[in-house]
Amino acid sequence: MDIANYIYLSVLLFTIGAIGVVIRRNAIVVFMCIELMLNAANLAFVTFSRVHGNLSGQVASFFTMVVAACEVVVGLAIIVTIYRSRRSASVDDASLLKR
Amino acid sequence: MTTSTNLVYLISLPLFSAALLLLLGRIADKWGHIFATLVSASVFVIGVLEFFAMQGRDGEARAATQKIFEWISVGTFQVDASLLLDQLSICFVLLISGVGTLIHIYSIAYMSHDRDRRRFFAYLNLFIAAMLLLVLGDSYLNLYVGWEGVGLASYLLIGFWNQKPAYATAAKKAFIANRVGDLGLSLAIMIAFTQFGTVTFAGVKEGASGASAGALTAIGAMLLLAAAGKSAQFPLQSWLGDAMAGPTPVSALIHAATMVTAGVYLITRSNFIFDASPTAQLMVVIVGAITLLFGALIGTAKDDIKKALAASTMSQIGYMILATGLGPVGYAFAIMHLLTHGFFKAGMFLGAGSVMHGMNDEVNMRRYGAIGKVMPITAATFGLGYLAILGVPPFAGFYSKDKIIETAFNAGGIEGVLLGGATLLGAAITAFYMTRVIVLTFTGTKRWDENAHPHESPFLMWAPMAVLAIGSVTSGFLLSSGSALVNWLQPVVNEHNERHSEEFLPPLVVSTMALVVVAIGVAFAILKYRTVPVIAPLDVSLFTKAARKDLYQDSFNEAVLMRPGQKLTAVLVTTDYKVIDGLVRSVGWVIQTMSSALRSIQNGYVRSYALIMVLGVLALVTAIWMVTL
Amino acid sequence: MVNLALEVGKTLQPEAIMFWILAPLAVVSALGMLFVKKAVHSALLLAWVMITLAIFYIAQGALFLGIVQVIVYTGAVMMLFLFILMLVGVDSSDSLVENIRGQRIASIIAAIGLGGLIISLVNRATLGVETIGLQDANSAGNVQGIAEELFTKYVWAFEVVSALLITAALGAMVLAHSTATKSRTAQRDQSIARFRGASLATAAGLPGSGVYARHNAVDVPGLLPDGTPAPTSVSATLEARGDMLTTKPFELEVKEVEED
């Protein structure tokens, strides 16, 4: 099996995550799709690290994980705050900037 | 060619005077008219001096030129602003300045009650300057400047009393009809330039011998169009009747003696073109013949004395144009008739002005009658002019008109007979309507209005009339004795000294025939107008109806030119608004519509914005994919 | 797919088997995450995807990363997700009706377009190297290898990221802190309320349980703070046998002195 298959899988997962952001209405699910995209990128990193025989890819992946964690923390805190004042977690409710 | 330094004064003096009187305004009201008259007189004096100087010179040196400045110098196109005074021009210079000065003197008295008299004299001087430039220019382009100048002066003077909208409209009508003629002159100049590379008379004369027949005919036709516009010939004749809206001195000077003769001058000056193009000559004689009959017919039914005289002018100039189309021998006779016509027609117009002045500006001849008893001097001078126009010997018209009739017959063949016949018929009708004018105005019973108290005019008015009457009597004899004028003009118009061929009829027979038809016309008029109804009768013959309506010239112009022109303008305006402006507006409309459509993307939902981001990434990827294909 | 341009190398058969089992599962889970109604189910499916990825990392020689993926990502981040889901509304489910016009179609096109194009791009790319594999890099052990990279080449990024972590934690605390919606009554106000209450009997608060207990026998019921016997303080068997003594004599009375 060709190692490139990992890359294809990564692309596929990334696309699914991108569409999920656009389709789902629950803010938390949207967040989860973003996490899926990040994970797909991590997979690509690791695969290329294997290809090049170099651990830089894995280090990059590591940093991505750290940053993703921070992002999740802050993002979920924001969602909770918004939920507390608006009682709704739907992204469609934030539509005041319409024409 | 002698070089002279005085020619420029002929133009610059009246031009300066006009400018001065216009710019000074009311300050010059007290002395403006005297100043203008003196300037005009001095121009005449200079003209006379130049004439005597010319007589002292011989052969080639007779003509004098003066270069004022270099005007246009573009590549191969060179035009200098220079003047040429040769045998032909001096006749016009003397006529313009002489008759002009007399009319200036007349106007001092005629316009004495008008508060804009100074402006009138300024315009008169402007006219003199422009007309002199017209006849003194040494190239078609210089002539054109004068041509336009006299058109302007005519417009200003016809519409002098522009408080009345009808007069202002008449001025516009004259200007527009002139403009059509000017188109002809412009085209002729352009064709001349493309063919010969020059527009000076000398240059074109040289080039004419080698040019193609088509080019010469084209130039000739265009020059004829120009002449028709300026001289009120068919088909551009409709403005002359309405031009009588101007004060009578204007009608006398511009629309009898001088401006309307500019067309004749143009054709005579371009004799080398017409002599080389028989087609153009044929067109000229046809136009002349049609107009002389046209004017005569209109004149028979006009009750307005000035309009009757205007129709007469149209007809007489038709004679002159006819003569210019008869080849090298005809030009001199045309000029002779032009000069004599200047005297008797100006005299008659001044007489008409005198009658109007005495009858509180009434122009309707049906309200005149028996004026001769009250205004004897006017009647006498008018009568002498009348005899001259009829062609009664030994008055002026006899010599000039009969020569034209003779030359028409001598053209030979069918053409000769037709033209000769037309001129004779014209003479008959002329006799009829001129007698009608005399009978209605000066003889018969009084048909005056209650408050009309006709009295003889003041000295300043009848003196010029008297001088012109003397001219009407003597000028014909003087000009033709010993073929004086013919010999004088021969170097200019008839270089190879051609004589006319076969005499069709002996001159005596022609003169007798002319007198016979004149007598018939006079008798007819006297018989018909023994009693004159004050209100014009309505049940008249078809001819009379047509003649009253100027042979439907205005209706024709309106139907064929004006209304289609108005429709065209309306169409163009609509096109401009809908199509051109619409195009511009549609740009805005397109942008607005696009913006409205694009605005709907901003629906406030985060997810659709996210979708747009994804689509953007898609576009990017597509681009990369395309590039790496 | 014959003639793949990205010929970077082949894997061994076991890895292939593992891949072809787990990869479709991962894709299906991801799609499921997209389409299930309940958010909790999405979270769980995502967790499964992450575990699959962890297995892939380990298979590819990224041992440290694989473990970290399980511990941090799946264990911490996804659990955090689940906590918040519980907080926000575990019952909440999206309706399937899409209220933005054209969103579904455009997203389908975007999905197919994006996925297809990138895969085709990757397909056409040539890397020009042979797979080296991580044998040498992991010669001292994967953790040591990463540590060597992390603390020498990437130490600056490491420090910055740790600063980021601290900031994130602080930020979360600030954001999650909620101000009380009503102010708590202070001691003074409570005291005043007690003395203005229905009867002064409870002004000092009710006595704690057992304050008035005179006996601790099995068959004597205990007293509740208001003086009434607690029915459950005596065994039901005794009560059924009728061996329970009534508490009447033991009920508190203020005025009467109770005789034994």
| C24 and C120 belong to one structural domain | yes
Handedness of CA B550, B555, B557, B560 (dihedral sign): negative
Q: Does A64 touch chain C (CB under 8 A)?
A: no
- Asked if the model's pLDDT at residue C257 lies above 60, the reply is no
- Asked if the model's pLDDT at residue A55 lies above 80, the reply is yes
**According to the model, what pLDDT value does residue C135 have?**
76
A66 CB neighbours in chain C (<8 A) are 161, 164-165
Residue numbers of A between 17 and 36 with CB closer than 8 Å to C: 17-20, 22-26, 28-29, 31-33, 35-36
Give CA B276 to chain center in angstroms. 25
| C18 and C115 belong to one structural domain | yes
Structure confidence by residue, pLDDT tens digits, B592-629: 999 998 887 778 888 888 899 999 999 999 999 998 87
What's the alpha-carbon Rg for chain C, to the nearest Å? 35
Q: Is residue C39 a part of any domain in this protein?
A: yes
The total number of structural domains that make up chain C = 2
Measured between CA atoms, the residue of chain C closest to residue A86 is: C88
A99·B611 Cβ contact <8 A: no
Q: Which domains does chain A have, with CATH numbers?
A: 1-84 (1.10.287.3510)
Q: Is residue C41 a part of any domain in this protein?
A: yes
CB B155 within 8 A of CB B175: yes
Neighbouring C-beta atoms of residue B151, cutoff 10 Å: 22
Q: Does C139 touch chain A (CB under 8 A)?
A: no
Q: B133 is written with which tokens?
A: 């430039």
* A36 vs A52: CA distance, rounded Å: 25
Residue at C153: amino acid letter: K
Neighbours of chain A (3+ CB pairs under 8 A): B, C
Structure confidence by residue, pLDDT tens digits, B368-423: 888 888 889 999 999 999 999 998 888 888 888 888 898 888 887 888 889 989 99
Q: Which of B600, B605, B612, B618 to probe the A interface (max A CBs under 10 A)?
A: B605
**According to the model, what pLDDT value does residue C259 have?**
55
DSSP, collapsed to helix, strand or coil, labels residue B52 as helix
Choose among B340, B193, B268, B206: nearest CA to B493.
B268
Neighbouring C-beta atoms of residue B265, cutoff 10 Å: 27
Structure confidence by residue, pLDDT tens digits, C100-110: 777 888 888 99
Q: Which residue has the higher pLDDT, C109 or A97?
A: C109
A92·B614 Cβ contact <8 A: no
* B420 vs B436: CA distance, rounded Å: 24
CB A18 within 8 A of CB B614: yes
| C118 and C221 belong to one structural domain | no
- Asked if the model's pLDDT at residue B153 lies above 80, the reply is yes
B605 CB neighbours in chain A (<8 A) are 91-92, 95, 98
Q: Is B609 exposed, middle or buried (0-12, 13-18, 19+ CB in 10 A)?
A: middle
Q: Is the peptide bond before B564 cis (omega within 30 degrees of 0)?
A: no
* Euclidean distance between the first and the last CA atom of chain B, given in angstroms as a whole number: 86
**This model's pTM is above 0.90:** no
Q: What's the complex ipTM?
A: 0.92
Last residue of a domain, one of C76, C98, C128: C128
Choose among B66, B494, B466, B467: nearest CA to B274.
B494
Q: Is residue C48 a part of any domain in this protein?
A: yes
Phi, psi of A45 (to 5 degrees): -55, -50
Please tell me the least confidently modeled range out of B312-326, B409-423, C115-129, C138-152. Answer: C115-129
| Helix axis angle, B117-136 to B262-269, nearest 10° | 10
Give CA B423 to chain center in angstroms. 21
- The pLDDT mean for chain B works out to 89
Q: How far is A91 from chain B (nearest CA, A)?
A: 7
Average pLDDT over residues A20-28: 88
From residue C243, alpha-carbon distances to A90, B425, C19 in Å are: 63, 168, 74
| C19 and C119 belong to one structural domain | yes
* B211 vs B178: CA distance, rounded Å: 29
Q: How far is B602 from chain A (nearest CA, A)?
A: 6
A18 CB neighbours in chain B (<8 A) are 614, 617
Q: Is residue C25 a part of any domain in this protein?
A: yes
pLDDT class for C4, splitting at 50, 70, 90? very low
Range of the domain at C241: 207-250
> Which residues are within 8 A (CB) of C158 and not within 5 positions of it... i.e. 6 or more apart?
C150, C151
Last residue of a domain, one of C64, C99, C128: C128
pLDDT class for C3, splitting at 50, 70, 90? very low
Measured between CA atoms, the residue of chain B closest to residue A25 is: B607
C145 CB neighbours in chain A (<8 A) are 55
| C123 and C224 belong to one structural domain | no
> Which residues are within 8 A (CB) of B195 and not within 5 positions of it... i.e. 6 or more apart?
B207, B211, B212, B215, B219
C131·A54 Cβ contact <8 A: no
Average pLDDT over residues B341-347: 92
Structure confidence by residue, pLDDT tens digits, B107-150: 999 998 888 899 999 999 999 999 999 999 999 999 999 999 99
CA atoms within 13 A on the CB side of B508: 0
Q: Is residue C231 a part of any domain in this protein?
A: yes
Cβ-nearest to B611 among C110, C113, C121:
C110
Q: Is residue C95 a part of any domain in this protein?
A: no
The partner residues of B65 in beta bridges, in order of sequence, read: B3, B84
Average pLDDT over residues B174-191: 92
- Asked if the model's pLDDT at residue B583 lies above 50, the reply is yes
- The pLDDT mean for chain A works out to 89
Can you give the CATH number for the domain in which C124 is found? 1.20.120.1200
B625·C103 Cβ contact <8 A: no
Structure confidence by residue, pLDDT tens digits, C59-89: 988 999 999 999 999 999 999 999 998 888 7
| C124 and C1 belong to one structural domain | yes
**According to the model, what pLDDT value does residue B592 have?**
93
Choose among B479, B146, B237, B124: nearest CA to B334.
B479
Q: Is residue C76 a part of any domain in this protein?
A: yes
Q: C133 is written with which tokens?
A: 């594999």
Q: Is residue C141 a part of any domain in this protein?
A: no
Neighbouring C-beta atoms of residue B484, cutoff 10 Å: 13
| C120 and C225 belong to one structural domain | no
CB B520 within 8 A of CB B429: no
Residue numbers of C between 177 and 216 with CB closer than 8 Å to A: 178
